[in-house]
Amino acid sequence: MSDLELEMNIPDDENQPTIMLTDEDGTEEAFQVLGFQTYQERDFAVLCPVEIEDEAEVGLVIMESVGGNSLEFVEDEAVTEAVFNLFMETLEASEEE
């Protein structure tokens, strides 16, 4: 698992919380929390980078909740894909209502 410092804040002008991820080089990047998803009795957060370059592909980040107090990157690609697909199905279902 990657060593990351997490800081959660809610900017005054936005309703969605953001998380600042700091990598091992000290580079910080802000991610919006799009939502949370439960998969196989485990909780995951679905994150999207706040700053996206024009026409750039957006890579969502899936992180697992650990003890409800911290998040860790999911290294298992199959789990990441399953959580993403379930999140998208849930999102589509809520839009249809």
Q: What is the pLDDT of residues 5-25, one digit of tens each?
A: 444 444 444 567 888 888 788
Q: Over range 84-94, report the average pLDDT.
A: 89
Contact 6, 45 (CB under 8 A): no
Contact 61, 47 (CB under 8 A): yes
The whole-angstrom separation of Cα 62 and Cα 52 is 17
Cα Rg of the chain, angstroms: 14
* Predicted model pTM: 0.73
Average pLDDT, the chain: 80
